[in-house]
Amino acid sequence: MMELIQSKHAEESGHWYGRDGSTSYTIIGANGVERNTTLRDAKKLSLLPSVTTIMREAAKPGLDNWKQEQVILSALTLHRQENETDGEYVSRIKNDAREQSNKAAERGTQIHAWVQSGFEDVFWSDPLGTMFFSAAQKALLQYSDEWISEKSFASEKYAGKVDLHAPGFVVDIKTTDKDLTGIKTWPEHAMQLAAYRHGLGMDTARCFILYINYQAETCLLEVSEADIVKGMKMFNALTDYFFARTGL
């Protein structure tokens, strides 16, 4: 079983940045207690939204379908208890599906942490960390041995943190519990990579998705330049919508 190890990487889940690219995931509230940064805070402090925050304005049918599958699987495995009402049964199914989704997210976050820390020359005592990093490194060595992990940037309207980049290359890591045979990229991947390479000032960089499954198998897929150009147009449209909707 994969043991989840907390790290500074695994905890980084905020969505706001300073104009200099510094993270602003949390702030100290008026009561002196640290809390998550809100849209109201962002307006007051002139913060920038992350790439992923802007991308939430678009539907994600693949993710929605996966969530529906988790609910169906929970319904198939949870037996109805005696005297349990419809509402109670439905609530229990939803809670179980949510728990499974959270566990999957935690596994993905941990794999990201292992891989990214490895590229920062920080290694884990747990052999699983070394295994996942080595798999990612092997997949990427064909293009460069100068990979930089978790580079933050800020542009005029948005900011973010890139999983990996090297001269001429930008890579985003995606984790999955599925077999990698026949796996492909999606339009949201092109949007994210396009925004990242533009934010880094690397507008001619080649862009890749690195899939890693829970068995530490990898599949490195390049997103075509045509799809990246289209993705940037789509992302710019979402950015305009985001700012119009939020009044930021």
pLDDT of 10: 35
Architecture of the CATH domain 16-246: Alpha-Beta Complex (3.90)
Residue with token string 């999955």: 176
Query: What is the pLDDT at residue 79?
Result: 87
| Helix/strand/coil for 70 | helix
Per-residue pLDDT, 58: 85
Let me know: does 153 contact 159? Beta carbons within 8 Å: yes
Task: Give residue 46's pLDDT.
Answer: 92
- Give the pLDDT score at 104: 82
What is the model's pLDDT at position 11?
38
What is the secondary structure of 98-135 as a DSSP string?
A: HHHHHHHHHHHHHHHHHHHHHHTT---SSHHHHHHHHH
Beta strands in the chain (DSSP E): 16-17, 26-28, 34-36, 48-49, 148-154, 159-166, 169-176, 206-213, 218-223
**Residue 5: predicted pLDDT:** 36
What are the structural domain ranges in the chain?
16-246
pLDDT at 3: 37
Q: Which residues pair with 143 in a beta bridge?
A: none
Q: Which residues of the chain have pLDDT under 50?
A: 1-14
